[in-house]
Amino acid sequence: MNAIYQYFRKLYSSRVLIPVSNIRKQGFSSETLALSISIGIIGGAFPVIGLASYICLLLTLVFKQNILIVQVVNWIVYPIQLILLIPFLKLGNSIFSGGDLTLTLHQVVATFHTGFLNGIKLIGIISLYGIIAWAVIAIPTLFVLYTLFLLLFKRIKKLKTKINMAFVVKKQDPDTQMLPVAPLLVMETAINPKNK
């Protein structure tokens, strides 16, 4: 059990923690962060298991965003892909065939027993319906997520600026009792000394 825990801890550290700490150090704009995270969430919810990373890569190239941010978010939202897989397939099936999707594992196995191509055709059609449903929902959701994250990051940036301005304190040597001097005055004095 401990080996499994260590494996997932190492995976989480290498795939999420280290890239996120590197992202913080690079100083991206609020717009870039908001769009990259939104693309990661939308691409990560793609309703075909195993293709979400490729969809995220494609969206990253189309929108010219940071691939590291997008892929980290894609990894984080992987459980969302699993949760939304069946709803996307059901929504797509109800839109195109008008009926409710009642697909069981037994039906899938029986379809593959009648022929491999029949099984692929059935799974492919249902997956295609899910992809179309995802595409229809992804466009407005991307806009909404981008707007929300942009507002959030701008608010955080504004708050961070206020905090930095309020707590900027110049360190003084405890032995001297000098008043803080404006940096422009110090620079001007160094360039044009009047005490010659």
In tens, the pLDDT along 125-161 reads: 778 888 888 889 988 999 999 999 888 877 877 776 6
Rg (CA), the chain: 27
Assigned domain for 193 exists = no
Q: Is the pTM of this model over 0.75?
A: no
Residue 69 resides in a domain:
yes
Q: Evaluate whether residue 62 is within a structural domain.
A: yes
Residue 178 lies inside a defined structural domain of this protein = no
Residues 14, 81, 98, CA angle at the centre, nearest 5°?
Answer: 165
Q: What integer best gives the mean pLDDT of the chain?
A: 74
The answer to the question of residue 186 being in a domain is no
Residue 127 lies in a domain: yes
Better pLDDT: 17 or 135: 135
- Give the residue carrying structure tokens 């003084």: 172
Domain tally for the chain? 1
How many CA atoms, within 13 angstroms, populate the side-chain half-sphere of residue 89? Answer: 19
* Tokens coding 104: 């069981």
Q: Which amino acid is at 53?
A: S
pLDDT in tens, 20-68: 556 656 667 778 888 888 999 998 888 888 888 888 888 888 888 878 8
| Parent domain of 96 | 2-169
